[in-house]
Amino acid sequence: MEIAHPYLLFLGDVPDALAAKTGLGIVDWRRDWCLGQYRLPGCKADAALDEMTPKEAAAAGVRTMVIGAVNAGGVLPEHWVASVVEALEAGLDVASGLHMRLGAIPAIREAAERTGRKLFDVRHSDERFATGKGTKRSGKRLLAVGTDCSVGKKYTALALETAMRARGFDADFRATGQTGIFISGRGVSLDAVVADFISGAAEWISPEADANHWDVIEGQGSLFHPSFAGVTLGLLHGSQPDAFVVCHEPTRKTMRGVSTPLPTIQQVIDMTIACGKLTNPDIRCVGICVNTAALDEAEARRVLEELSAEYGLPACDPVRFGADPVVDRLAEEFGAP
């Protein structure tokens, strides 16, 4: 799937910014793709974009309305349906990251058929994947792995893409989750793929490329997370990364959603190499990317210095302070562009 931009972000009438995390994430990374926001009365989220109706958006050149908000339960509330139909009738495609398919709602399915517009359910790939083969592909790959879920792997990969491009690298972010797909316009929500095809889908996400091209691949889960490690391992094998960074949130005590303690960064490095060398014997760690949002600046810089000294690796907060230390290491180890 390839979702056409510019976007109109639909934020519904959600009660807080957290419920519009997807929409706000798109604005963080693709501000220039977002021409406006469409909100219902009472909406408490604000992406600081121009307010537009679908009709106004279409006139301004918008191609797709992205449902950038969720309500509890992951279903589309009934009182949002009319807005989706309105967008289709204004000539926009509509894209959603909800668990339920847009086409499962008769009024939306019929409106899409009537108008000839496309519905994108980014959690559900219609692509038929092959099983993974493990064969070496040309091009270079960097994967963001983590000590846990939700530690900043997507933002790290996006910040690395930005920093690498600024330094002249030929680099593309590769999305493996719903928000990432909206940000890049393509990709696969790997957690929704049938288990037999995890590594095959990961191979599809990052196909053969020029020898000097870098895919910067969004990670998922953690090899040490008891709920999601299977997805993480399939992604690692299918990505066959030449390089990886370990993403970490230093105030986290237990793995997200479960009572399992957090692994150490060293455990993550060792396990990623032990497993990853199956499809890339030369896999190596090129940095530690820390989400320091919970720390003040002095503390954040101290943590980064300590980690860098302890592991002999560049350590940075790629969003707060930039990803250059990791890009330096990449250039040293794999050559500057």
The β-bridge relationship of strands 93-96 and 243-248 is: unpaired
Task: By CB under 8 A, tell whether 104 contacts a copy of itself.
Answer: no
Task: By CB under 8 A, tell whether 100 contacts a copy of itself.
Answer: no
Q: Other C-beta atoms within 10 Å of 115: how many?
A: 16
Task: By CB under 8 A, tell whether 207 contacts a copy of itself.
Answer: no
Name which of 82 and 130 has its Cβ closer to a copy of itself: 130
Task: By CB under 8 A, tell whether 281 contacts a copy of itself.
Answer: no
Q: Which one among 23, 54, 200, 241 touches a copy of itself, defined by CB under 8 A?
A: 200
Number of residues that bind a copy of itself (CB under 8 A): 38
Strand partners, 67: 10, 96
| φ, ψ (nearest 5 deg) of residue 39 | -125, 150
Q: Of 115-134, which residues contact a copy of itself (CB under 8 A)?
A: 131-134
Q: What is the spatial distance between Cα 23 and Cα 10, in angstroms, rounded to a whole number?
A: 8
Q: Other C-beta atoms within 10 Å of 259: how many?
A: 8
Name which of 27 and 198 has its Cβ closer to a copy of itself: 198
Task: By CB under 8 A, tell whether 294 contacts a copy of itself.
Answer: no
Q: What is the spatial distance between Cα 80 and Cα 72, in angstroms, rounded to a whole number?
A: 14
Residue with tokens 């998922």: 220
Query: Of 288, 320, 97, which Cα lies nearest the Cα of 191?
Result: 97
Task: By CB under 8 A, tell whether 70 contacts a copy of itself.
Answer: no
| φ, ψ (nearest 5 deg) of residue 133 | -110, -25
Name which of 227 and 308 has its Cβ closer to a copy of itself: 227
Task: By CB under 8 A, tell whether 193 contacts a copy of itself.
Answer: yes
Name which of 47 and 70 has its Cβ closer to a copy of itself: 70
Q: Sketch the per residue contact string, 226 through 245, with a copy of itself: x for CB under 8 A, - otherwise.
A: xxxxxxxxxx-xx-------
Q: Which residues, at least 6 apart from 129, have a Cβ–Cβ distance to it below 8 Å? A: 193, 197, 200, 201, 204
Q: Residue 26 Cβ, how far from a copy of itself at the closest point, in Å? A: 22
- In this chain, which stretch among 44-52, 73-81, 156-164, 193-201 interacts with a copy of itself, using CB under 8 A? 193-201
Q: With contact defined as beta carbons under 8 Å apart, do 206 and 236 qualify? A: no
Q: Which residues bind a copy of itself (CB under 8 A)?
A: 131-135, 190-196, 198-200, 223-224, 226-235, 237-238, 257-260, 271, 274-275, 278-279
